[in-house]
Amino acid sequence: MPVVNDRLEEDSIARRRALEIASFIVEAPAGAGKTELLTQRYLRLLAVVEHPEEVLALTFTNKAATEMRDRILGSLERAASGETPEQAHKQLTFDLAQQVLAHDAARGWRLLGHPGRLRITTLDALCASLARQMPYLSRFGSQPGVSEDAEAHYATAARRTLEMVESEGDDAAVVAEALAFMDNNAGRLEKLLIAMLGRRDQWLHHASRIESGAMKAEVEAGFAALVERDLAQVASLLDAGWQARLMPLARYAAGNVPDVLPALLDWDRPLESGIADLAQWRSLADLLLTGTGTLRKALNKNIGFPADKEAKPFKEAMVELLADLAGLPGIEAALGVLGQLPQPELSAAEWATVECFSRLLRLAAGQLWLAFQEIGEVDFIEIAARAGLALGDDEAPTDLAQALDYRIRHLLVDEFQDTSPSQVGLIEKLTRGWMPGDGRTLFVVGDPMQSIYRFRKADVGLFLRVRERGIGDIKLDHLRLFRNNRSYPGIVDWVNRAFPSIFPAADSPEAGAVRYAESAATRPARSDSVVRVHPVIGTAAGDAAAEEARCVLQIILQARQAAPDESIAVLVRARSHLDALVAEIRRSAPDLRFQAVDIEGLDGRQHVQDLLTLFRALAHRADRVHWLALLRAPWCGLQLADLHALAADDKTQTIWQLMQDEARLGRLSADGRQRLTQVREVLRLAFAGRDRQHPRRWLEGVWLMLGGPRCLEAPEALHDVEAFFGLVDRLAASRNLDAETLAEHAAELFAPSDPRGDRVQMMTVHKSKGLEFDTVILPGLHRETGGNESSLLLWDEVAGADGEEHLLVAPIRQKGAGGSDATAYDYLKKLEAERAAHEDERLLYVAATRAIRNLHLVGVAVADDKKDDGLKPPAAGSLLKLLWPGVAQPVFGAALGERVATAEMTGRIDPAAFVPPLVRLGEVALPVGLREIPGGLRPAGNALELDAEETGLSLEASVGTLVHRCLELIAGQGLAVWSVERLASLLPGWRRWLVAQGHAPADAENGAEEARRALAVTLESPTGRWLLAEHTEGAAEQAWSSNEGGVTQNHIIDRIFVAEGCRWIVDYKTVRVAADELPQRAEGFRPQLERYARLFRDDALPLRMAVYFPLQGVLVELGQPGTASVRDM
């Protein structure tokens, strides 16, 4: 407790200092209440400025900006009303707000009436604003739109760049040279260019300098400085004393194997950290380490110590030396680095490749700018770059920069640990010329332990450098907060114990390493606050994903039972890590509602897969696999025997060509021949109209003609289909619609979350940042994520041993290039891998600190009898590896003896179980387009139309089906998430569904409007809302079965529930009759309802039957025969 109290006192002092009119950088760990501190700081500054616009607060997200704005306005409103708070920190906020109101009154600001004068915005929004204010200097002209996902534009630019090889001149030669280097693999080069354009803010300003002859020397000097830095670290461990013991033994070994250790033959002086000794350091590492990077324990002739008498004293001395070295902390890691150090000099061929790729990237950047101009939108990188141009530079600041220098006196930046170099550069330009004591202040707050956005170009090293050096001419006083107001002591104490050994011992801006800083809990202790490791023991036969999913489900169910009103979160590194859990919930706990934030991918749903198959087949007639899949899909549903008869004996023709062979079709079954003929006719019409329609309308029209909507298992699947066609629309608009791109982007489509599942949430750790939950479950700790992808050029700016920043650049390895020595490119990749590993440490910290009361850690370890502890160590890139030594290994070891091998539990797997059942439209359910192609079905104008007189279908029946399905959805999802406005947004989907049922577009328009009207009446009437409200034992479209006289009958009851002490059985009827005729019409449905009632004849509750008419919003209760009456609410 004394230590905790000391920390809390330090925290209080830091918070008081943070309100001084000075510049600070504040470290605020998880749960520290930094938003409240930012609010207080903002209020403190408002109370001293001439105009409220002089205070500017920058955040990373609109959500954070809105939250901060709401807090400040809320504080002012409470101060204006005189609501005195009880908590001390809120009392301080209240006092500061009152000071602002007094200042406001004196200055005549009227902030509560004009909240727009509060300048709280995002960094991206600020950049866009700067570019708009100086359109000429920012080179935008008219303001473009901003693309949230600009990869399609990158792809366009990359493709056009490679197409320049067909032109003439120097540009064509550059592209040709790059393609030759890539072994003419244009597809791979295009992907690398796309990736590089997405981070061009990191290299574009360097690319133009590469052609300078002096640049090669500068880069080589940078590599030399870094190599010498690493050598100095090794030399500090293996000092002259150690080296003196090693020299004679190393010379002896090298004399026996001169080809293996040539650099040690003449070793006669202590090695230093200069480049001249690099070769000897490398050979020394070869001598001391095994191939796996551990110190040698055994010596043999291959490493220079043969098994003879003369070698014995050398061998014994070397074994003793190795044993002594094993006690030297960090020696294996230090020696392991030696093998990864490159020669600083880049060969002439390497530098020529660097120059070629630099020119290629500049060409691609130019093509991207042209693509932006054509489409009228840009990405956030371009916005930030043009904002920088609008501000000018130190030597030539623009009028805008000087105006901002006058207007902005206090700058606050939230989440500073997530800034990128370009964003820090922007902040430096905004504060250009600020001097100590001039009354202007910079206040940045963040937590380097929570920096987890490297994929967004965040660099935690920037926080560490600014903490040490400041920004520009501004030196920032460092403040550290310690309070954790979120978690109970059981969580905070565990984190304080576990993470010092997980995090590195020292900060390193270059390596992205952040040491752990402890927190102090402010909540009172609770005995039921726990951190628990749940071990799952797998076997070599599988990863035990299903067993882990069952374990997690049990944790969820137990937590809900113990505290039904508390929040639960399941957090993972990657969305796919939740697949098994979601499947287990669907199978074992279907009533468990949960919110999955961007988790359930639509591309995994069969109806979306079918749409992708349709697109691929139609886009490429020679794509045999997808054509066969198209004929297997539900709209055709050919049996395997029919597919075999059609295509097995002819691999030379396309499936489409084979479908035209009437003799071949004669081999099919009668059913298969009919189905194939009908689908062939639809596709013939589709191909005929392909070039006359927009891609989305064309593809959607084909799907409708094939009867796609009838293949959907539930009405809500239409939302998935609409999302897919919306994606087709967007890609077509960006002129980037092809099969591969569509498939890639379809993987980013996700099902919406269940609004009623907010007590249990599933998301990635990145999505959980800034949130908190009573119980947090972290499954999949044993899993790895994808490694770093290759890059065309790797760029870096790091500090060497001299403390100076050095630019580094190296080209990708050429495929098939020989040589095993580390290259400059390998070295830069190693630096990136090291940064990624340190970010994994921080990711685990962020995940663990979301927990308020309980934290559950779940992972799988594989049994291995060959290991001392009986377990394979966790994978190097897993979070379980970080927890293994001090936290997880003892628990898993204890669980090992109790394991049951998964393979023994499940027995042999029947391969036949993996043959999916054939799902297809039945003969009766075949859509018009498959039963008989009507003459009115034709590609014309912008839509594929059906003549109404040829459909022979009842619009009233289709509207009734649509209304039934929607009423089922409303009852299932709850009235809270349905409104009349939402109904209007669903009209387009309903119209398309009705057209798919065979109705003419004009009738579909009327039918959709009638359905909307019926549902609106229901939602706005007390009777309708009572009917659809949540009731005891409530169900919608519930299936029941009965057996009378040996005959089994199935029944679907529209609505059933218990209310007013009775069981209500309600049937929906969408009929167009006058209100006074409804009781009589209801009597006509009595036999149906009585049949339903007989299902409950043994029920103890009284039964009440009723018919609900949605179009009229009237519920007619059926009492005794002939006594039907309207029930008023």
pLDDT digits (tens, 9 = 90+) for 667-692: 999 989 989 998 998 898 888 877 67
Per-residue CA distances from 891 to 532, 544, 779, 883 (Å): 10, 17, 15, 11
Residue whose C-alpha is closest to residue 540's, from 858, 859, 863, 781: 863
CA angle 926, 1008, 1056 (to 5 degrees): 80
Tell me: pLDDT of 903 over 50.
no
Radius of gyration for the chain, computed over Cα atoms and rounded to the nearest angstrom: 35
Pairing of β 773-778 and β 851-862: parallel
- Would you give the distance in Å from CA 420 to the centre of its chain? 19
CATH architecture of the domain 955-1127 equals Alpha-Beta Complex (3.90)
3-class DSSP state of 121: strand
- Band of pLDDT at residue 602, cut at 50, 70 and 90: confident
Over range 754-766, report the average pLDDT: 84
DSSP-derived secondary structure for 178-243:
HHHHTTT-HHHHHHHHHHHHTTGGGTHHHHTTTTSHHHHHHHHHHHHHHHHHHHHHHHHHS-HHHH
- Cα dihedral sign, 812-818-824-830: positive
Distance CA(195)–CA(790), nearest Å, equals 10
CB-CB contact of 1039 with 1062 (8 Å) = no
- Cα dihedral sign, 693-695-701-706: positive
| Residues in contact with 108: Cβ distance below 8 Å, sequence separation at least 6, in sequence order | none
Distance CA(230)–CA(800), nearest Å, equals 9
CA end-to-end distance (rounded Å), the chain: 62
Per-residue CA distances from 1071 to 757, 986, 1064 (Å): 35, 22, 21
CB-CB contact of 697 with 939 (8 Å) = no
Residue whose C-alpha is closest to residue 383's, from 143, 115, 96: 143
Residue whose C-alpha is closest to residue 225's, from 270, 272, 275: 275
| Residue-wise pLDDT tens digits, 1006-1018 | 899 999 999 999 9
Distance CA(427)–CA(421), nearest Å, equals 10
User: What is the structure's pLDDT at 451?
Assistant: 96
Q: Which residue has the tokens 């309100």?
A: 19
324: which DSSP letter?
Answer: H
| Residue-wise pLDDT tens digits, 114-169 | 998 999 999 888 888 887 776 544 455 556 777 777 888 899 999 999 999 988 88
3-class DSSP state of 483: strand
Tell me: pLDDT of 253 over 70.
yes
- Band of pLDDT at residue 801, cut at 50, 70 and 90: low
User: What is the structure's pLDDT at 446?
Assistant: 96
User: What is the structure's pLDDT at 1073?
Assistant: 82
| Residues in contact with 265: Cβ distance below 8 Å, sequence separation at least 6, in sequence order | 251, 254, 255, 258
Distance CA(345)–CA(351), nearest Å, equals 10
Burial class of residue 569, CB neighbours in 10 A (0-12, 13-18, 19+): buried
Tell me: pLDDT of 44 over 80.
yes
Over range 206-229, report the average pLDDT: 82
Q: What is the CATH number of domain 602-745+920-945?
A: 1.10.486.10
Over range 1103-1114, report the average pLDDT: 92
Give phi and psi for 1041, each to the nearest 5: -135, 150
The beta-strand segments (E) located in 510-629 are 520-521, 531-538, 568-572, 595-596
Over range 752-777, report the average pLDDT: 88
- Band of pLDDT at residue 179, cut at 50, 70 and 90: very high
CB-CB contact of 427 with 72 (8 Å) = no
Tell me: pLDDT of 786 over 50.
yes
Residue whose C-alpha is closest to residue 29's, from 445, 413, 605: 445
116: which DSSP letter?
Answer: G
Give phi and psi for 204, each to the nearest 5: -60, -40
Q: Residue 962 belongs to what H/E stretch?
A: helix 955-973
User: What is the Cβ-side half-sphere exposure of residue 454, based on CA atoms within 13 angstroms?
Assistant: 17
Tell me: pLDDT of 96 over 80.
yes
Lowest mean pLDDT among 217-221, 883-887, 1038-1042: 1038-1042
| Residues in contact with 917: Cβ distance below 8 Å, sequence separation at least 6, in sequence order | none
Distance CA(535)–CA(860), nearest Å, equals 6
pTM: 0.74
Q: Which residue has the tokens 């289909």?
A: 721
- Band of pLDDT at residue 1071, cut at 50, 70 and 90: confident
User: What is the structure's pLDDT at 403?
Assistant: 53
Tell me: pLDDT of 363 over 60.
yes
471: which DSSP letter?
Answer: B
User: What is the structure's pLDDT at 697?
Assistant: 84
Q: What is the dihedral of CA 252, 254, 255, 260, to 10 degrees?
A: 150
User: What is the structure's pLDDT at 41?
Assistant: 97
Over range 826-842, report the average pLDDT: 92
Shared fold status for 2-129+380-485 and 531-598+756-785+837-906: yes
User: What is the structure's pLDDT at 910?
Assistant: 41
**% the chain with pLDDT above 70:** 88
Strand partners, 534: 858
| Residue-wise pLDDT tens digits, 6-33 | 889 999 999 999 999 999 999 999 999 9
Distance CA(551)–CA(555), nearest Å, equals 6
Q: Treating both helix axes as pointing N-terminal to C-terminal, what angle do 123-133 and 380-391 enclose, rounded to 10 degrees?
A: 50
DSSP-derived secondary structure for 762-804:
EEEHHHHTT--EEEEEE--TT-----PPP-SEEEEEEE-TTS-
Over range 262-276, report the average pLDDT: 92
User: What is the structure's pLDDT at 422?
Assistant: 86
| Residue-wise pLDDT tens digits, 462-482 | 999 999 999 988 999 999 999
Tell me: pLDDT of 926 over 70.
no
Distance CA(290)–CA(915), nearest Å, equals 48
Lowest mean pLDDT among 764-773, 811-820, 966-975: 811-820
Distance CA(853)–CA(703), nearest Å, equals 51
Q: What is the dihedral of CA 522, 526, 527, 532, to 10 degrees?
A: -70
Burial class of residue 217, CB neighbours in 10 A (0-12, 13-18, 19+): exposed
Residue 446, both tokens: 């963040």
Distance CA(731)–CA(615), nearest Å, equals 13
Q: Between 869 and 413, where is the model more confident?
A: 413
Lowest mean pLDDT among 454-463, 741-750, 829-838: 741-750
User: What is the structure's pLDDT at 1121?
Assistant: 84
In total, the chain counts a number of residues equal to: 1129
Q: Look up residue 423 and give its amino acid.
A: Q
Residue 266, both tokens: 């003449």
- Domain range list for the chain: 2-129+380-485, 151-198+347-378, 215-338, 531-598+756-785+837-906, 602-745+920-945, 955-1127
CB-CB contact of 510 with 798 (8 Å) = yes
- Would you give the distance in Å from CA 263 to the centre of its chain? 49
Lowest mean pLDDT among 649-658, 749-758, 767-776: 749-758
User: What is the structure's pLDDT at 901?
Assistant: 35
Look at the domain 531-598+756-785+837-906 and name its fold: Rossmann fold (3.40.50)
Residue 873, both tokens: 């160590």
Tell me: pLDDT of 461 over 90.
yes
User: What is the structure's pLDDT at 48?
Assistant: 95
Distance CA(410)–CA(832), nearest Å, equals 35
User: What is the structure's pLDDT at 140?
Assistant: 53
| H, E, C per residue of 331-389 | HHHHHHHHCCCCCCCCCHHHHHHHHHHHHHHHHHHHHHHHHHHHHCEECHHHHHHHHHH
- Band of pLDDT at residue 1039, cut at 50, 70 and 90: low
Look at the domain 2-129+380-485 and name its fold: Rossmann fold (3.40.50)
User: What is the structure's pLDDT at 1028?
Assistant: 92
Report the largest interatomic distance among the alpha carbons of the chain, rounded to a whole angstrom. 117
User: What is the structure's pLDDT at 1043?
Assistant: 63
User: What is the structure's pLDDT at 939?
Assistant: 28
Q: Look up residue 972 and give its amino acid.
A: G
Lowest mean pLDDT among 136-140, 171-175, 539-543, 991-995: 136-140
- Would you give the distance in Å from CA 1046 to the centre of its chain? 55
Tell me: pLDDT of 907 over 70.
no
Distance CA(809)–CA(219), nearest Å, equals 7
User: What is the structure's pLDDT at 173?
Assistant: 93
